[in-house]
A and B are shown apart, each in its own frame.
Chain A
Amino acid sequence: MNTANITWMLAETGIKAFVIVNIILVMASAEVWLERKVCAWIQKRNGPNRVGPFGLLQPFADVVKLFMKEDIIPAAASKNFHRLAPLLSLMMAVAVYAVIPYANYVDVMGHRVYLGIAPNLNIGLLYILAMTTLGVYGITLAGWSSNNKYSLLGGLRSSAQMISYELSMGMALIGVVLVSGTLCLNGVIDKQVGWFWHWNVFCQPIAFIIFTVASFAETNRAPFDLPEAEPELVGGFNTEYSGMKFGMFFLAEYANMATASCFIAILFFGGWQLPFPQEMLGLKDGSVQLALAQFSSFFIKMLLFIFFFIWVRWTVPRFRYDQLMSLGWKILLPLSILNALFTAIAIIVFKL
């Protein structure tokens, strides 16, 4: 690789990373607004409506408020880990976006620019799984370093829960990997080309259900939000956090929710594929218009899943801890192994 190539690559990656990180953070605040609005509709209230039109600027006001607040580190806390934990949480939440493809590619001045930082990475799926497992450390360390028994319980619950559901998540993915024959995210999307009934959700419905349930557990969202169950644990792992450090956990949670939605859209709903063959638009590959159409298709799918996450949170009550564990180990895990087995048999028998 020569110097010009390296410079071009670094510039391209840097610009993409800058844009994507900013979009993620703005999206996270937009999700907070959406969450509060949807929850208000579900509970027959108005929701935030004072700051800006329709209360749209409310999340920004919240962020300003969090910045203004005093940042307290408990005297008996393990100080460095207490500082490190929210950073780690947010870092892993953002790192996942490195492999997510937002559209196919655009040809700019003879260069083929893929929309996404490294969407053609050979190990894309494994990378996402690895980053989501590392995200546990943020929460676990936050729970331990606060030196507070409620925080510790929250942190332990979270790590136990994430380890348990990681397994069924990985096993559910095996079905998808077997069908698409690759671990590369753009490869998985390419296999779902054409009309919408080619999407993986129609040939892997069980994997889709298992994966969605496991995503809820992985993102610590209701009905699996035991790590921050207010009635029993005060605030869970983030009890001892204040100011923007609390805000970082908050951002990480919403960024994780967006990640899970992206991931479901890519694996089971064709990612940036349009719901009909893209030749019907009459645009050629690599044109900006086609990329825009693909991006909007991806974005709409993602928004729908974010809405689904919020909808479930305000409808379904929280699990009890033993219910959570038996659901993970006794139902989802055997089901996902059977799904992988049957998919493999079907592929051999029908020579797919």
Chain B
Amino acid sequence: MDLQFILFFVFGTLAIASASATVLSKNPVVSAMALVFHFCTLACVYFTLNAQFVGALQVLVYAGAIMILVIFVIMLLNLGNEKAFAEKFNYRKGIAIMLGASFIIMLATSFLSKNYITNQMPASSLKNGTVEKIGLDLFTSYIYPFEAIALLLCVAVVGAIILAKKKISH
């Protein structure tokens, strides 16, 4: 047994547990904090797969920047129990279960058919996760998708500014 392999399972289990806690908890702050913990364990899973850069960004961007804003809003609004509107949207549950199940079936078929499941890591994966390699790939082979994403983000920022600057008139 490899150390990386054991750690992968430990963090994987923790990630699944915290993701379930996010969905199942009725308290919005507990839910949000479970999601933060989930992002951290997910980052650890990336580390065990030699994807250091992705792992660091996972913590920095998702756990650090995005979730702090979510928590900020939850605290400002001081949301209480969500019980009041839990029963209102019952039909959504059925659709969600159907979509989730079809996703799991899709994953299972694609993995089982091609013998993807292995605990061997290719030696090249050690290099693939570093900042240098990802940077080089982004700015050479994938420059057009990268620029397209930059444009998309720019549009989003402009949209946000317009929404924020709009005067509310009655």
Chain B residue contacts of A13, Cβ below 8 A: none
User: B131 to A159, Cβ gap below 8 A?
Assistant: no
Chain B residue with Cβ nearest A177 = B131
Main secondary structure of the interface of B (DSSP, over half): helix
Q: What is the 8 Å Cβ interface bit string for chain A, positions 115-127, against chain B (1 contact, 0 not)?
A: 0000001110011
Q: Which of B18-26, B61-69, B86-94, B116-124 contacts A (4 or more CB under 8 A)?
A: B61-69
- Pair B69/A126 contact, Cβ less than 8 Å: no
Q: In the complex, which of the residues A121, A126, A144 contacts B75, with contact meaning CB atoms closer than 8 Å? A: A144
Contact with A along B49-69 (1 / 0, CB 8 A): 000110111011001110011
What sequence of 0s and 1s flags, for each residue 148-175 of chain A, a beta carbon within 8 Å of any chain B beta carbon? Answer: 0000100110011011001000000000
User: Cβ of B69: which chain A residues have Cβ within 8 Å of it?
Assistant: 163
Residue B106 interfacial (CB < 8 Å): no
Measured between beta carbons, the chain B residues less than 8 angstroms from A242 are none
Are A156's CB and B75's CB within 8 A? yes
Task: Contact check, B71 vs A123: say whether CB atoms are below 8 A apart.
Answer: no
In the bound complex, residues from chain A placing their C-beta under 8 Å from that of B75 are 140, 143-144, 152, 155-156
Q: Which residues of A1-21 have CB atoms within 8 Å of chain B's CB atoms?
A: 1, 6
B3 interface residue per 8 A CB criterion: yes
Interface of A is mostly: helix
Number of chain A interface residues as a range: 20 to 34
**B14 located at the interface, meaning its Cβ lies under 8 Å from any Cβ of chain A in the complex:** no
Q: Which of A130, A162, A183 contacts B59 (CB 8 A)?
A: A130
Residues of B within 8 A of A141 (CB): 33
Interface residue stretch chosen among A131-139, A213-221, A287-295:
A131-139
Provide the residues of chain B in CB contact with A136, threshold 8 Å.
Answer: 64, 68
Given A144-B29, A183-B131, check contact A133 B64 (CB 8 Å): yes
CB contact under 8 A between A134 and B72, given known A1-B2, A78-B29, A123-B52: no
Quote the shortest CB–CB distance from B133 to chain A (angstroms). Answer: 10
Across the two chains, which residue of chain A brings its CB closest to B60? A130
Structural contact, A126 and B76, CB atoms closer than 8 A: no
Q: Is B130 an interface residue (CB 8 A)?
A: yes
Output the nearest chain B residue to A5 by Cβ-Cβ distance.
B3
Q: Report the minimal beta-carbon distance from B68 to chain A, rounded to whole angstroms.
A: 6
Q: Knowing that A126-B57, A127-B56 are A-B contacts, what are 4 other residue pairs whose CB atoms are under 8 Å apart, sorted by A's residue number?
A: A133-B64, A137-B71, A140-B68, A160-B72
B residues at A contact (CB < 8 Å): 2-3, 29, 33, 36, 40, 52-53, 55-57, 59-60, 63-65, 68-69, 71-72, 75-76, 130-131
